[in-house]
Amino acid sequence: MADIVLDKVSKKFPDGTIAVRDVDLEIADGEFVILVGPSGCGKSTTLNMIAGLEDISSGELRIGGERVNDKAPRDRDIAMVFQSYALYPNMTVRENMAFPLQLAKLDKKTINQKVEEAAKVLELTPLLDRRPANLSGGQRQRVAMGRAIVRKPKAFLMDEPLSNLDAKLRVQMRTVVSRLQKRLGTTTVYVTHDQTEAMTLGDRVVIMRGGAVQQVGPPQELYDNPHNLFVAGFIGSPSMNFLPAAIEESRLRTALGDVPIGDRIRRELSRADAPRELILGIRPEHFEDAELIDEETRRRGIVFEAPVDIVESMGSDKYVYLTVEGERATAAELEELAADAGAADFTGVGSHLVTRLSAESTVTEGQNRRVWFNLEKIHLFNPADGRNLTLREGRAAGALAD
């Protein structure tokens, strides 16, 4: 077991593609870190550099305090689980799992004992003598995990290990992975493009875009205090709603009505390079049916009226899609999120507002409804660079902050 440190690590491919640029990351011993981002953002390349399967173009990689840039994968003592599982089809499950131990020149008895042990943990014992071709997807996935844990490496690397499973199995395996990591306490770097996996699995999440790290932090931290538009739009399902907000004196004109702004935001906006328009972001759960809130709560936000398009009752609460007039928010980040297949359900910039109201709300489709939203929870972004203007010392402070 060991910590992993990436110090200004970059990757430039021979064809000139810069897949990873200046990534700084410190992964503590035993930590479970998730690399997440849309496809093509350099997650696999980063992982492969940690593994030693790709050379590091510049920067330094340290595992357990030791520089390993020039070490072969076999000398780094790291195990990897591949998206494709990469099981050896000519070997049985037992032989697959024994392979790393044989290469480590352990004696037969120890190998057998370790394989049986790992098989028990992953409930593979009855399958030990089958070949990969005769296993289901979920079973293959478990064999791949088994092959990784069997030799107790310094760290696990996993590249989208669950993305080939169907939705139900994926949820199931998610808990298996999580439990396994906690039980073994091995440093783990896990790559995914699925934000739900990122939110539920790791101790910390690293969000990447175009080869660069956008933000690092515990999942809740990223959810509550996104540093920029990209992080805000990527984390959360359904995603945050984005609206254009024109700056006018001491308020912002939006499709939901005029939003007052506090001194801090005003100071930001008085700077010479300040944008003329902002992007307003609100998460679905920060809306509420105006009928259901008391006077004091009402004062912390504003109320608007909009036609109700669709009501999806989830039992615990209601997803209500409201039609909003006016232009859509535009920014490079939002287009990228909408284009990425991994965020196919990206609803942030549609002509609809996605809101999550209490189950008690009597809202029905087709009516005009008065809906409230919380001004303390909104985010304002600069469309030019995507920066979150409502952050104060790394925490989101809403529009009204002084």
Which residues of this chain interact with ligand ADP, rule CB under 6 A? 13, 15, 17, 19, 37, 39-45
Contact between 241 and Mg ion (CB under 5 A)? Answer: no
Bridge partners for 81 per DSSP = 158
Contact between 355 and Mg ion (CB under 5 A)? Answer: no
Bridge partners for 259 per DSSP = 252
Among 111, 135, 208, 396, binds other proteins (CB under 8 A): 135
Per-residue tokens: 222: 């990223």
Peptide bond into 238 cis (omega under 30): yes
Among 136, 172, 313, 367, binds other proteins (CB under 8 A): 136
Q: Report the alpha-carbon distance of residue 222 to residue 375 in Å, rounded.
A: 19
Q: How far is the CB of 40 from Mg ion (least distance, A)?
A: 8
**Residue 226 interacts with, from ligand ADP, Mg ion, other proteins, none (CB under 5-8 Å by kind):** none
Q: Report the alpha-carbon distance of residue 102 to residue 110 in Å, rounded.
A: 10
Among 23, 36, 44, 56, binds Mg ion (CB under 5 A): 44
Q: Which stretch binds Mg ion (CB under 5 A): 38-46, 127-135, 149-157, 286-294?
A: 38-46
**Residue 104 interacts with, from other proteins, Mg ion, ligand ADP, none (CB under 5-8 Å by kind):** other proteins
| Binders in 305-364 for other proteins, by CB under 8 A | none
Nearest to 226 by CA among 235, 401, 209, 38: 235
Q: Report the alpha-carbon distance of residue 268 to residue 388 in Å, rounded.
A: 11
**Residue 15 interacts with, from Mg ion, other proteins, ligand ADP, none (CB under 5-8 Å by kind):** ligand ADP
Q: How far is the CB of 77 from other proteins (least distance, A)?
A: 8
Q: Report the alpha-carbon distance of residue 139 to residue 137 in Å, rounded.
A: 5
Q: Report the alpha-carbon distance of residue 79 to residue 51 in Å, rounded.
A: 8
Q: Which stretch binds other proteins (CB under 8 A): 60-68, 76-84, 338-346, 365-373?
A: 76-84
Q: With respect to Mg ion, which residue has the nearer C-beta, 193 or 379?
A: 193
Q: Which residue is listed with tokens 């050379």? A: 55
Site size with Mg ion, rule: CB under 5 A: 1
Per DSSP, 118 falls in state: H
Among 2, 19, 36, 79, binds other proteins (CB under 8 A): 79
Contact between 78 and other proteins (CB under 8 A)? Answer: yes
Pairing of strands 204-209, 32-36: parallel
Per-residue tokens: 167: 């939705």
What are the φ and ψ backbone dihedral angles of 41, each rounded to 5 degrees? -90, 0
Q: How far is the CB of 334 from ligand ADP (least distance, A)?
A: 19
Q: Which residues have a Cβ under 8 Å from the Cβ of 252 and sit 6 or more positions away?
A: 245, 246, 258, 259, 261, 278, 280, 380, 399
Q: Report the alpha-carbon distance of residue 131 to residue 135 in Å, rounded.
A: 7
Contact between 167 and other proteins (CB under 8 A)? Answer: no
Contact between 147 and other proteins (CB under 8 A)? Answer: yes
Among 45, 141, 239, 374, binds other proteins (CB under 8 A): 141
Q: What's the CA angle centered on 37, arms 55 and 44, to 5 degrees?
A: 25
Q: How far is the CB of 193 from ligand ADP (least distance, A)?
A: 7
Question: Which x/- pattern over 53-72 shows residues binding other proteins (rule: CB under 8 A)?
Answer: x------------------x
Q: With respect to Mg ion, which residue has the nearer C-beta, 44 or 215?
A: 44
Q: Residue number with the shortest CB distance to Mg ion?
A: 44
Q: Residue number with the shortest CB distance to ligand ADP?
A: 44
**Residue 79 interacts with, from other proteins, Mg ion, ligand ADP, none (CB under 5-8 Å by kind):** other proteins
Q: Helix 137-149 crosses helix 167-184 at what angle (to 10 degrees)? A: 10
**Residue 19 interacts with, from ligand ADP, Mg ion, other proteins, none (CB under 5-8 Å by kind):** ligand ADP
**Residue 238 interacts with, from other proteins, ligand ADP, Mg ion, none (CB under 5-8 Å by kind):** none
Q: Report the alpha-carbon distance of residue 283 to residue 222 in Å, rounded.
A: 13
Q: What's the CA angle centered on 284, arms 281 and 286, to 5 degrees?
A: 80
Contact between 110 and other proteins (CB under 8 A)? Answer: no
